[in-house]
Structure 1
Amino acid sequence: MVHSKGRVLARVCVMAVAIGTFAANAARAEDAPANKAETSPSIAEIVVTAQFRGQKLQDVPIAITAVNAATIEQRGSTNLADLAGSAPNVTLRPAAASFGPAVVAYIRGVGQRDTNFGLEPGVGLYIDDVYLPTMHGSLLNLVDLDRVEILRGPQGTLAGQNSIGGSIKLYSKKPDGTPDAYLSSTYGSYNRVELRGGSNFTIVPDTLYMRLTAAAVHKDGYVTRYDYACTHPGSTVPSMVTGTGCKLGTEGGKDYVAARAAVRWTPAPFLTADIAADVTRDNSEPTPSTLLYVGRAANPGTMLTGVATPASAAYTLNGNVYGTATGSQFISYSPFGAFAQDTFSKSPYINYENYADTAPRDGSAPWQAPLKAALNTWGISGTVNATLTDNLKLTSITAYREFDGTYSTGDGSPLNPSLQANTIYNKQFSEELRLSAKFGDLANLTVGGYYFHKRSRYQARIELTTLSFLEDDSIPATNKALFANADISPIRNLTVIGGLRYTDQSKTFVYGRFGVPGSSTGGAVPPSLAALNGLVGGYSGSRLDYRAGLQYRFSDEVMGYAQVSTGFRGGGINPRPFFPAQALPYNPEKLKAYEVGLKNDLFDRKLRLNLSGFVNKYTDILVTVASCPLPGVPAAPCSMPINAGNATIKGFEAEAQLHPVAGLSIEGSLAYLNFKYDSVSAAAASSGIGPEDKGQYISPWQWNVGIQYDLALGSIGSLTPRIDVSHIDSFNRNANNVDAATGGKDIFGEVQGYTLVNARLTFRSGDKDWEVAFEVRNLTNKLYYTDIFDNRGSTNSVQGTPAEPRTWAVSLKRRF
């Protein structure tokens, strides 16, 4: 099967070249005459800066999905996760509740799901070219953006460390003298209320401008928490109700305000300075989580067989017998079969979580975890562009950011065998300096340096079935880099591309482990953790990444490219050891990617068709395992990152835009991805990972289609209906996910695929000053899960994050 899929990829690449040759000839034949109607529909140009300078999207030899502000609004996208549905081989989804307010980001099967500060992202995330080094706080809201660029494949030379899978770059609107003010309001399902606004201000004509933007959002949660004792009279579970009714609260609610001020100063024709400051106060509810399974203890990824306990409660699924244990009565809905035993409701949108430990296992006083997933952030950045000569430009990007946050997580039951209250802090400073030179039509060269330092801190109270303790870890890290990128055109239409980046990184992890005051041990550190308190570990090393490629323009309409590029994700030490023996280092993971692509603008730019095919050689893959068979200590509890081995990832992507007639727009993409281990390390094999296992967050097929039509209503205005359909195949979130003996899949770690339909109807007034939009998301009311947390190794349970059911909203916008 793998070989056949490899042949499929090869055929796709050959077909891509053939299509490019045909398209080039077709484009020449379709050259528009001088008197072609200027009203002919065509695809708007988007200028991107992926190669350190402004270029048209179709001129850049990189697989990029770029969307402008208008497209973001037309799709009703409000946060970073909404962008994934239209970008091939891109996974962006809210993290499981255990990892706090964050996003899981994977591109072409490379990324990171764990938000711990000791681990590095696998997809680089940038706002106005300022790097965000943590997964916490990465579920960004799309407010007042100019465009978004999603670069697929390793960006080791262009974006640097931790962009091994790709980069996501958000660019805000810059202030200028153009009148551009708006106010918008939204009301919808779950009492959704949003207010947004922005405006340009001219302070000194032709010299000093300011742009102010703000947003305020409230939305009730869509997963309801009930008091089990109230809904099930006669239960021995303690009641937490303090008022009337059985409802304790909700999860998934949003409450935040955000503001941004940007200033542009142009004191001279050759000098521009942009300064921006932003602040966000997010006091949202915990991430939704429901209990899906309670049964026998097992390493996540393990297929259990045999007699369940108790046998009378057993059920069979896919030929395997699964058992129940105390706690299964708290399951209101399970996707794993007819396992739900609760009689109050069969809804997938309820749980019995109370975030309370009424009888701590260590004998300390009862306590309540915060009922929130809050995050407070602020930052300031300054970008200076100086045109030294007509062909020489200097750019400096200086930024400081910090955030603090609080989030809690339980298991979805009132018993709370696993309960955590977490507090996080991060401070960072970065400086990037670039010097870009243009040598006529022959070459472009950019050289530069980069410095980054952050200091993160993680505090928590952690309650497990056999362990209670306080955690206080400090993680300082520094990254320094030198880079150079060049493209040379020795002959017409041919460009040779090259890039280098040298990176030096260092990271320290200072463990803090403490006992709980007032506990039966007198507040002493639990014996298994005592040796960890004050222990210092870390990683330091250097790396040289490169990029080499050829770009050829067959015609004005068709461009082809081929390249090889590399990237890496930093190493470190296990941030979550439960025994000193588990405090082991891990090495960086590395990727070398071979890629070919074609970018086509055909038929007078009515059709845009971009194709790419790639083979990635993935080395020292980093995964986190829940079974650590180390000498002298139990295999669990465990949550340890290891280098699992080497793999090959193959795939292809196609993106298309079609404007066949005025007013009609059709967009779509198709993506395929295949993962195969070439070798498995000894550490991975001992933890249950084998060559038969699939990669994490690998969806074999993804596709999407979006259609909209602008219907002119004369002087009244216009009416624009739009529908978006997206599909993603099932994927595994556990590193070990296939039974070696039977070939059976791990159902507990598999997130089922789904197809979503969103619809939107927009009316714009004739002067385009007023706009009213009605939207329905998840039109078919599809039940699906954004992620699953297989915690059988610690609590014998599995939790899931259900996505929102069908919702509606009405928005009113006024432009000034």
Structure 2
Amino acid sequence: MRTTVARAALLVAALAASPAIAQSAPQDPQAEPAQGNAEIIVTAQFRSQKLQDVPIAITAVTGETLEQRGQTNLADLGTNAPNVTLRQSAASFGPAVVAYIRGVGQRDTNFALEPGVGLYIDDVYLPTMHGSLLNLVDLDRVEILRGPQGTLAGQNSIGGAIRLYSKKPSADTDGYVSATYGRFNRLELRGGANFTLAPDQLFARISGASVNKDGYITRYDYRCTHPGSTIPSTVTGKDCKLGTEGGKSYVAGRLALRWTPSSMITADIAVDVTRDNSEPGASTLLYVGRQAAPGVVLNGLATPTLPAYVLNGNLFGNATGSPYVSYSPFGNFAQDTFSNSPYINYENYTDTAPRDGSAPWSAPLKAALNTWGISGTLTADVSDNLQLTSITAYREFDGIYSTGDGSPFNPSLQANKVFNHQFSQELRASAKVGDIANITVGGYYFNKTSRYEARITLTTLAFLEEDTIPATTKAVFANADVSPIENLTILGGIRYTDQSKSFRYGRFGVPGSASGGAVPPSLAPLNGLVGKFSGSRVDYRAGVQYRFTPEIMGYAQFSTGFRGGGVNPRPFFPQQALPHDPEKLKAYEVGFKTDLFDRRMRLNTSAFINKYTDILVTVANCPITGAPAAPCSLPLNAGNATIKGFEAELALRPVDAFTIEASLAYLNFKYDSISAAAANSGIGREDRGQYISPWQWSLSAQYALDLGGAGTLTPRVDVSHIDSFNRNANNVDAVSGGRDIFGEIKGYTLVNARLAYATEDRDWEIALEGRNLTNKLYYADVFDNRGSTASVQGTPAEPRTWAVTLKRRF
């Protein structure tokens, strides 16, 4: 592996260096290119800069490129960004994304746990993973910043930041409306337009989207398809279909105003509303039951040997004769040919015979979210060298989602309600000191209150839950870059953060149950209990940047970051209500940014080593004195690790009409030490990091064929690959060295394509797109619930799809 990495690093260095020798004449880096790759302006360092001038590993994508790739939600962005994992989370966590950058992130959507990757919309921080599966509507650009961003963002972000920037109102004529129809009855309407309300002073932009699409997982009633079964039926008549999963139904709108009363002042106000009434996320049952295998124990549970069946390279399919169903609370429902498909689900979201003796109940068939927010950004140019910025925002959302175990019997069923409201205020002063320095100082305040309500049925427990989680962050920061001599810049930043949060547990019995609605005995001591966390920390950044030639810039930096501590949000016994400490990161990075051959070849590379301390993981085995080991879902600090890797991004434009884009990433994770708590839960130094894909790459090609006065025909192909990775913290057996197949998401390669025709004036465009053209069966995530229901659910991604889009620009 070391040889492979070394060779790859030499190849990247050679690609970066050799073309520089061939340059005939230096170019002015401030001049706009007449040809070659277009400039992308980013604001990662609190001011507008060209992407190639910023000493940070950034993937910047314009709204136009997102459209060409057919990327419509946040999870799509991880396909082309190196060492970035963005994927739809398991249905058990609601409408959310799993977000990791360089192996640092968060998969659990509970409000008590902070995201490891910061998410921003127009510089307003979103503090929860729940509701983060954002729709990409009317965006100007996306910036994905890799590495700690403590001194360069409103909220500290240990792994990196994803910043979405909407189009701003202006006097420019920039309007469009588009309509899309595709497989699964996909129907989308999108549009946006500028309006001048007062010439030279007041402008507005209105944008919106409406999306409806059927689900791609079909839910069947098991009794209807198997008349001899004793499982109760929930349908009547001959139609055995109960519905679908994975369907989308939402509308979103945004109104933005820009007021420029003078050349020195700009005020932006934006209001957005989303009403999402989508179906539950796609989920199918992969495994049920367990069978002991000598010498193989993972997560404290006996792990079966590999089954004899394989479907499309995935461990799934007809379970007849499989050891996975030798012990099953669901009977033999998995042992039939009818269920031999990942796109069939027998789950009915109904508990017809609750174990606690209460009446049958059904969970809402939704993954719904209502959200709205308002923000105001005021920018004042006090002088040519001093700018003041204020960003004030309020946001709130409420949602409902349900989840089960994927079986017809539903020994595990949950109905969840979530609420969150937040206020944030950021103030910045940015000064330019001649041509020597750029300095920014600022302060940040953030306050949120979240609430989580649920009815939860497990194989051993049934209860109602109502938790409240208030949290506050206060911070001050400073960032500077100083150029003592030509071409050399010294970088520095510092941040002080003070955090406080609490978690109030609410545990109640189910009315009408055999216990008379009393709280289950194991949960009673938790009701009313309050856990608290508070702490402060100083983070900093130091680096150097040097422009070797007008075409080549290099940088090196050291930075730190952290993710706040807290308490276990899901204790099933009082002994599990344990705190955890913050996790911390020290990051070392070097990189090069190049624009070569008259800017026809852009190659950006970076290499890094991260020292990760007190890594926060969630385990399903709690060997705690006085409490059973299961059920368990305990966050704990697992120990320290080293993460290292490299990234390369290429944009090649050999001729004006032909564009090639590529990315390559390598990531390696190794534990340096294991904490006592993690060791007691079965984690060892042999385990791999969560959501760590060793290799990841993408390749895209697009050619704009000029048809003369008849317009332009543009074919495009996108290919991407990601290696296998693990979602469980305990994923390698210490004795046998065997991997945990239950928590492993298999690697896959995807092929997408698009063919677009535009009229000569580009006023009209029609495009045909196909996604997952090879019809690859792959899983976006899995939910390993062996600790409480002896089952594992998968989140299958969409099969092959097609769509046609008609767009009118004006």
Cα deviation per residue 1:751-789 (whole Å; 9 max; x = unaligned)?
A: 000000000000001111000000000000000000011
Aligned to 1:731: 725
In structure 2, C-alpha distance between the alignment counterparts of 1:100 and 1:133, rounded to whole Å: 15
Aligned to 1:71: 65
Q: Is the 8 A contact 1:297 1:793 kept in 2?
A: no
In structure 2, C-alpha distance between the alignment counterparts of 1:330 and 1:550, rounded to whole Å: 64
Shift of 1:344: 1.9
Shift of 1:70: 1.0
Aligned to 1:492: 486
Give the match's secondary structure for 1:594.
Answer: strand
In structure 2, C-alpha distance between the alignment counterparts of 1:162 and 1:579, rounded to whole Å: 32
- Residue 249 of structure 2: which of 241, 255, 277 is its match? 255
Q: Is the 8 A contact 1:300 1:792 kept in 2?
A: no
Question: CA distance change for structure 1 residues 40 and 330 in 2, over 3 Å: closer, same or farther?
Answer: farther
Question: CA distance change for structure 1 residues 519 and 392 in 2, over 3 Å: closer, same or farther?
Answer: same
Give the match's secondary structure for 2:338.
Answer: coil
Matched, 1:568 2:562: yes
Matched, 1:464 2:464: no
Matched, 1:46 2:48: no
Aligned to 1:348: 342
> Which AA in structure 2 matches 1:326?
S
Aligned to 1:388: 382
Matched, 1:762 2:756: yes
Matched, 1:273 2:267: yes
> Which AA in structure 2 matches 1:116?
N
Q: Is the 8 A contact 1:187 1:193 kept in 2?
A: yes
> Which AA in structure 2 matches 1:652?
F
In structure 1, C-alpha distance between the alignment counterparts of 2:41 and 2:601, rounded to whole Å: 18
Question: CA distance change for structure 1 residues 527 and 297 in 2, over 3 Å: closer, same or farther?
Answer: farther
Aligned to 1:508: 502
Q: Is the 8 A contact 1:497 1:551 kept in 2?
A: yes
Q: How does 1:363-382 map to 2 (within 5 A)?
A: 363-382=357-376
Matched, 1:589 2:583: yes
- Residue 690 of structure 1: which of 684, 691, 709 is its match? 684
- Residue 750 of structure 1: which of 744, 755, 761 is its match? 744
Question: CA distance change for structure 1 residues 9 and 485 in 2, over 3 Å: closer, same or farther?
Answer: farther
Shift of 1:25: 3.8
Shift of 1:119: 0.5
Q: Is the 8 A contact 2:291 2:324 kept in 1?
A: no
Aligned to 2:282: 288
In structure 1, C-alpha distance between the alignment counterparts of 2:760 and 2:558, rounded to whole Å: 50
Matched, 1:790 2:792: no
Q: Is the 8 A contact 2:356 2:462 kept in 1?
A: yes
> Percent identical across equivalent pairs?
74
Aligned to 1:130: 124
In structure 1, C-alpha distance between the alignment counterparts of 2:288 and 2:495, rounded to whole Å: 49
In structure 1, C-alpha distance between the alignment counterparts of 2:172 and 2:37, rounded to whole Å: 24
In structure 2, C-alpha distance between the alignment counterparts of 1:287 and 1:572, rounded to whole Å: 28
Matched, 1:443 2:445: no
- Residue 631 of structure 1: which of 596, 609, 625 is its match? 625
Aligned to 1:335: none
Q: Is the 8 A contact 1:502 1:544 kept in 2?
A: yes
- Residue 206 of structure 1: which of 196, 200, 203 is its match? 200
Matched, 1:517 2:519: no
Matched, 1:454 2:456: no
Shift of 1:14: 6.8
In structure 2, C-alpha distance between the alignment counterparts of 1:183 and 1:427, rounded to whole Å: 32
> Which AA in structure 2 matches 1:225?
R
Cα deviation per residue 1:371-419 (whole Å; 9 max; x = unaligned)?
A: 1000000000000000001100000000000000000000111111110
> Which AA in structure 1 matches 2:516?
G
In structure 2, C-alpha distance between the alignment counterparts of 1:321 and 1:227, rounded to whole Å: 25
Note the residue ranges of structure 2 that are not aligned, 5 or more in a row. Answer: 308-316
Give the match's secondary structure for 1:618.
Answer: strand
Question: CA distance change for structure 1 residues 194 and 305 in 2, over 3 Å: closer, same or farther?
Answer: closer
Aligned to 1:325: 327
Q: Is the 8 A contact 1:727 1:755 kept in 2?
A: yes
Q: Is the 8 A contact 2:291 2:323 kept in 1?
A: no
Give the match's secondary structure for 1:794.
Answer: helix
In structure 2, C-alpha distance between the alignment counterparts of 1:563 and 1:32, rounded to whole Å: 27
Shift of 1:53: 0.4
Q: Is the 8 A contact 1:301 1:748 kept in 2?
A: no
Give the match's secondary structure for 2:738.
Answer: coil
Question: CA distance change for structure 1 residues 202 and 633 in 2, over 3 Å: closer, same or farther?
Answer: same
- Residue 393 of structure 2: which of 395, 399, 402 is its match? 399
In structure 1, C-alpha distance between the alignment counterparts of 2:669 and 2:270, rounded to whole Å: 42
Shift of 1:322: 4.9
Note the residue ranges of structure 1 that are not aligned, 5 or more in a row. Answer: 310-314, 332-339
- Residue 26 of structure 1: which of 22, 29, 41 is its match? 22
Cα deviation per residue 1:271-318 (whole Å; 9 max; x = unaligned)?
A: 000000000000000001000001128986567467999xxxxx999x
> Which AA in structure 2 matches 1:775?
E
TM-score of the two chains, using structure 1 as the length reference? 0.95
Q: Is the 8 A contact 1:561 1:596 kept in 2?
A: yes
In structure 1, C-alpha distance between the alignment counterparts of 2:690 and 2:636, rounded to whole Å: 14
Matched, 1:617 2:611: yes
> Which AA in structure 2 matches 1:26?
A
Cα deviation per residue 1:519-574 (whole Å; 9 max; x = unaligned)?
A: 11111111000000000002100010100000000111100000001111110000
> Which AA in structure 1 matches 2:59?
T
In structure 2, C-alpha distance between the alignment counterparts of 1:724 and 1:165, rounded to whole Å: 27
Shift of 1:154: 1.1
Q: Is the 8 A contact 1:327 1:413 kept in 2?
A: no
Q: Is the 8 A contact 2:299 2:619 kept in 1?
A: no
Question: CA distance change for structure 1 residues 17 and 192 in 2, over 3 Å: closer, same or farther?
Answer: closer
> Which AA in structure 1 matches 2:583?
E
Aligned to 2:52: 58
Cα deviation per residue 1:133-157 (whole Å; 9 max; x = unaligned)?
A: 0001101111000000000111121
- Residue 670 of structure 1: which of 664, 677, 682 is its match? 664
In structure 2, C-alpha distance between the alignment counterparts of 1:63 and 1:394, rounded to whole Å: 27
Cα deviation per residue 1:14-37 (whole Å; 9 max; x = unaligned)?
A: 77666655454433x35479xx9x
- Residue 606 of structure 1: which of 556, 580, 600 is its match? 600
Q: Is the 8 A contact 1:256 1:282 kept in 2?
A: yes
Give the RMSD, CA atoms, in angstroms.
2.2
Shift of 1:163: 1.2
> Which AA in structure 2 matches 1:381?
S
TM-score of the two chains, using structure 2 as the length reference? 0.95
Q: Is the 8 A contact 1:20 1:560 kept in 2?
A: no
